[in-house]
Structure formats: structure tokens, C-alpha cells
Structure 1
């Protein structure tokens, strides 16, 4: 199986032997046997629902900046340990992108699920300019940047839908 898709036992041990690996793997959500990005995005909904959604804007933005920087560091180390820059098991980018997608989501589970679906759409589809950044920027920053852009696109569409519904 392609190294980008499956972790063998040695890779799993290398990834989880360092705290950065636990963070980059979304505290284990990236170890799902399939659809790791979706698993990471779903896992990100829990801290968003219980911790982030009620935060004041300045604090929420601060959390996004700090968790993005943490992700650049963690995904850079984890990718180096795995020998694959953007391995599917590295899902911290899904956490931060999902949180950005939901930054101004209206209250309610339906809006959270809409934000989840929009983020997954933009993350998988990678329309311009997201695809360009995904191809050109490598390392921890590259892992994080395309999902941040997908989260921003999802947030914009979610706000447009909310405005006109």
C-alpha cells in the first residue's frame, strides 16, 4: 500500500513516540483505518462545540493563530518522522480548518453540520487558489495552509447561506 495512505507498525510507533505526532494525528483521530480527514474533522467538532463556539472573537482568533502555529510545528516534525510531508494520518490541519469554517456559524447543530460539510467539500475539492498552495508549499506550513484556506472558503459560504436563508 502507498506510504501516503497506510501507516505500518514502524511508522505508527515513530509518529506516536513524539508529542508532535499525537498532536498532528489529532490525538488519534488520524489513525482511523479510512477517511482520516473526515475523522479528524469530526473529532474537531467536539472541542469546538464544548470549548470554542462561545468564545469572544479575540480569544477565538487567538486560539486559531496558536493552534495553526502548533500545527505547523507538529505536522513538520510528524511528516519528517514518517518520511511523508502530508500523510493522511496528519489531521491537525483538519482541526484548525474546521474551527475556522465555524468561526461565525449561527447557533445550532444544523449550522455546525453545514459548516462541517462545506469544509470537507473545500478540503477535498481544493479549488483555486487552494490547490496551488497545496502543490507548492511543503512541510508543516504546507500541511496546514491548504486546510486554513479551505476553512476560510467554507466560512465565507456558510455566512452567505446564513445571510440569505
Structure 2
């Protein structure tokens, strides 16, 4: 029962089983959750994203530890870390399609290329939290770039 729950949550409810680009699908799941919550609680969206990030970082770390013996240290099937990382990207951002699409692209860029310490976290922290931590940092970097793009008027310049 414990492994079944860990598999469901760790794979973002099955998105991690998609055979091509599972991390991208995990991020898509995260964007979908963000979108749905915004539709019903736009005033509380930041509180929701922060709360979900904290709760699911803890739960996701647990999932990784439970599944480590069966799937290995950082299996591609576990994509809850991508779902969590993308939530960080959207904290305190104006809601809109441009921010969601650009934020998604930025997050995937930092998650895939792992620059500026993201790769170091991935290599050095060898536990469930380490699986989550590199995506959290990728989400923070994407948030910084997205905030800068909004601050310097890129969204308005492009007409979004």
C-alpha cells in the first residue's frame, strides 16, 4: 500500500509513466494544478503555491526514499519534483498565458541544463530531498528571470 501511494504521488498521478519526456509532463501537470487553483482561488494563489511546494517537497522526498530500492536514486518516472519546481516559478507572478508559457520554458531550461549549482545539488545530495532540491533551485532561477522579464516590461513589449 505504501509503495502504491508513493508511486501515484511520485509520478504526479501517472504523468511520470509517459515514456517520452516524463519531466516535461511532470511540469505540465504542475502548470495544470496552478491553472486550476487560480481559477478557483486567484486571491490566494501565492499562498497555495507556497503551501503545496512545502507539503509536496516533504511528501515527494518520502516517495523517493520509499521507491529507491525498486526504481533507483533518481528515476525518470518520479516527476513530482518537476511539478513542485514549476510551482516556485509562478510565485508572485502576474497571472497570464505569457507568464505560464515563458515560465514553463525557463523552468525546463534550468531543469534540463542544470546550470549555476543546479547540477551540483543533483550530484551531491543523494537522498529523497536531493531529488526534489535541484528542481526547486531550477524553479527559483526561472522565477528570477521571469520576474526580471516582467519588471523590465518584456510582457508589455510583446503585447501580452
TM-score normalised by structure 1 residue count: 0.84
* Cα distance, 1:59 vs structure 2: 4.3
Listed one character per residue, the Cα deviations across residues 17-48 of structure 1 (whole Å, up to 9, x for unaligned) are 52011111110000011101001111111111
2:81 matched to 1:93? yes
Listed one character per residue, the Cα deviations across residues 111-148 of structure 1 (whole Å, up to 9, x for unaligned) are 10111000000000111211111101012111100000
User: CA 1:38–1:115 in structure 2 vs 1: closer, same or farther (change >3 Å)?
Assistant: same
Contact 2:37 2:45 in 1 (8 A): no
Residue number among 29, 33, 40 corresponding to 2:15 in the alignment = 29
Structure 1 unaligned residues grouped into runs of 5+:
1-15
* Residues in 2 aligned to 1:26 and 1:61: alpha-carbon distance in whole angstroms: 18
Structure 2 unaligned residues grouped into runs of 5+:
154-160
Q: CA RMSD in A?
A: 1.7
TM-score normalised by structure 2 residue count: 0.87
Give matches, 1:68-147, under 5 Å: 68-82=57-71, 84-147=72-135
Paired positions, count? 149
2:53 matched to 1:67? no
